[in-house]
Amino acid sequence: MEGIREFLHEREQAGTLRVLQPVSRKGEGFAYFENRKYIDFSSNDYLCLSSHPRIKKAAQDALGFAGTSSSASRLLGGDSDLHHALEEKIACFKGKESALIFNSGYQANAGIISALYGREDVVFSDRLSHASIIDGIVLSRAKLFRFQHNDAGHLEYLLKSARHRFKNALIVTETVFSMDGGRPPLKDLVDLKESYNCRLMVDEAHATGIFGDNGSGVVEEEGLTENVDLIMGTFSKALGSFGAYVAVSKEIKEYLVNTSRGFIYSTALPPYVISANIASLDIIKEEPFRRKMLLESAEFFRRSLRRRGLEAGGASQIVPLAAGSIRRAVSMALSLQERGYRVLPVRPPTVRPGEERLRFSLTYCHKKEMLERLIDDICEVSNV
Ligand SMILES: *Cc1c(COP(=O)(O)O)cnc(C)c1O
């Protein structure tokens, strides 16, 4: 096919070619690759649950009695009591009437938005929304408006000028943004969705398990459960497992079961994954010290970097550090890698030119002494 070689060549020249790097083992805050051990700041295993003995045991037990596969989609025989038990637990955790499991966060966003909206509808999405949200909107064929990142004023301007031209409307955002660790003005978005007769959907992929008294997310922390129509999230990040869900009214769940292609046309998650997810929710409830410590570490890390004159951002366990250019982001990441840290540069097209950064994903396993040493190392490599 024409164009492939040129594309790859151009990416390589620009320093933006993406390549796979197999890790031989990871968990508990470390990653091993090419026979070397790194302190891992690129993992979404925020609470270090992927190696939790009780969650592993839950998965092993289910493997023993249910085997390795669900063998069919939910509607065609792949459904199980475990799936229903997990959905009930999620509904309760999120404070909604019901919940529906999806096989991944990508599939959830693509499958939910495309099922609920169509050609006559409109979706207002934060500029930095995850690719799966954008793909869901594209699949739905609804008109897309992107508002400036976390800018309720710009959203209101768009609603005022365009809402009346469409039938149904959705406002969608993340509650913790993966690339800048920031949080949206959720209360303002709720007010706008009410004034302009829209639904509000949030993606809590990076917030679930971490924010709120019960660890259910930012929606819980801000007391807005009643006001958010669709609360989507994943089991693949802080919950240390795999899969996704949406917490919604019974009516929306029933509608999605009947119309969401990402739900209907895909084999149900295997029982051992469901079982791990159930155990993981129990751990979130029983071990709140994990999330408390994580958020304290993140605050400490961010404040220390700023005190040293560095531009550290975010309001969560994700801490971006401004690098200014592709070259500086790459060279700082390489220098830190040489010092034994797994830290990745974030470059265009993921962020806009000029907004290149290093992204530190903190986890419960990163203890204070590790962070203190890292801060010293960052200061040294950022001076070169
Ligand atoms: C990771 C992520 C997803 C996708 O979830 P997967 O379960 O990995 O497919 C969706 N939305 C956001 C905001 C994410 O960060």
The 10s digit of each residue's pLDDT in 219-269 is 999 999 999 999 999 999 999 999 999 999 999 999 999 999 999 999 999
pLDDT in tens, 142-188: 999 999 999 999 999 999 999 999 999 999 999 999 989 999 999 99
Average pLDDT over the chain reads: 96
pLDDT at 175: 98
Type of residue found at 252: I
- Contacts for 306-310 with beta carbons within 8 Å, 24 or more apart? 308/375, 308/379, 310/378, 310/379, 310/382
Give the model's confidence band at 2: pLDDT under 50 very low, under 70 low, under 90 confident, else very high. confident
Q: Is 380 a catalytic residue?
A: no
Is pLDDT above 90 for 27?
Answer: no
Is the alpha carbon torsion for 182, 186, 192, 196 positive or negative? Answer: positive
What is the DSSP code string of 35-50? Answer: TEEEEE-S---TT-GG
Calculate what percentage of the chain has a pLDDT beyond 90: 91
CA distance 131 to 241: 21
DSSP code at position 140:
H
| Mean pLDDT score, 319-347 | 94
Can you give the pLDDT at residue 352? 87
pLDDT per residue as tens digits for the range 193-224: 999 999 999 999 999 999 999 999 999 999 99
Is residue 227 within 8 Å of residue 190, measured between CB atoms? yes
At 349 the pLDDT is 80
> What's the rounded Cα separation, in Å, for the pair 381 and 376?
9
Cβ–ligand 1 contact at 359 (below 6 Å): no
Distance (Å, whole) CA 217 – CA 205: 9
pLDDT band, residue 384 (cuts 50/70/90): low
Ligand 1 proximity of 332 Cβ (cutoff 6 Å): no
CA of 191 to the centre of ligand 1 (A): 26
Burial of 35 (0-12, 13-18, 19+ CB in 10 A): exposed
Burial of 153 (0-12, 13-18, 19+ CB in 10 A): exposed
Q: How far apart are CA 224 and CA 138, in angstroms?
A: 28
How far apart CA 96 and CA 258 sit, in angstroms, is 20
Helix axes 271-286, 288-307, angle to 10 degrees: 70
**Burial (CB count within 10 angstroms: exposed 0-12, middle 13-18, buried 19+), residue 10:** exposed
Least confident range of 5-19, 102-116, 156-170, 315-329: 5-19
| Strands 122-126 and 169-174, bridge-based pairing | parallel
Give the residue, out of 44, 101, 132, with the most ligand 1 atoms within 8 A of its beta carbon, to mutate for a pocket test.
132
State the pLDDT at residue 1: 65
Virtual torsion, Cα 33, 35, 38, 42, nearest 10 deg:
0
Atom of ligand 1 nearest to the CA of 106: 9
Weakest mean pLDDT among 7-11, 32-36, 69-73:
32-36
Query: Does residue 90 register a pLDDT over 70?
Result: yes
C-alpha–C-alpha distance, residues 200 and 226, integer Å: 11
Between the CA of 88 and the centroid of ligand 1 the distance, in Å, is: 22
What are the angstrom distances between the C-alpha of 169 and each of 197, 198, 235?
7, 5, 28
Q: How far is the CA of 70 from the centre of ligand 1 (A)?
A: 22
